[in-house]
Amino acid sequence: MTKKQILNASGVDPNKILPLTYPWARQYYKTGVANNWVPEEVSMQLDVETWKSQGEKGLTEDERRMVLYNLGFFSTAESLTANNIVMAIYRHITNPECRQYLLRQAYEEAVHTDTFIYCCDTLGLQPDDIYTMYQTIPSIKEKDDFVVEMTKSVFDPGFETKTPEQIQRFVHDLVGYYVIMEGIFFYAGFAMMLSMLRRHKMVGVGEQFQFILRDETVHLAFGSELINTIAAENPEIWTDAFKTDITEKIKHGVELEKRYAYEALPKGIVGLTPQSIAEYLEHIADRRLERINLKPVYGTKNPFPWMSEIIDARKEKNFFETRVNEDKTGGQLEW
Ligand code: MN
Ligand code: FE
pLDDT on residue 12 = 79
pLDDT on residue 325 = 43
- Ligand nearest to C-alpha 177: 2
CA nearest to 195, candidates 269, 301, 135, 98: 269
Residue 55 Cα, ligand 2 centroid: separation in angstroms? 36
**Cα dihedral value 106, 229, 153, 82, nearest 10:** 10
Mean pLDDT by 10 residues, the chain (335 residues): 76 87 97 96 96 92 96 93 92 94 97 96 94 94 94 91 96 97 97 96 96 96 98 97 98 98 96 96 98 98 93 58 43 38
- Ligand nearest to C-alpha 216: 2
Residue 72 Cα, ligand 1 centroid: separation in angstroms? 14
Residue 109 Cα, ligand 1 centroid: separation in angstroms? 5
Of the residues 22, 118, 187, 280, which is catalytic? 118
Residue 311 Cα, ligand 1 centroid: separation in angstroms? 15
* Cβ contact 63:269 at 8 Å: yes
pLDDT on residue 103 = 97
Residue 216 Cα, ligand 1 centroid: separation in angstroms? 6
pLDDT on residue 9 = 75
Cα 32 to chain center, whole Å? 14
To the query of whether residue 134 is one of the catalytic residues in this protein, the response is no
pLDDT on residue 314 = 61
Rounded to the nearest 10 degrees, what angle do helices 61-83 and 203-233 cross at? 40
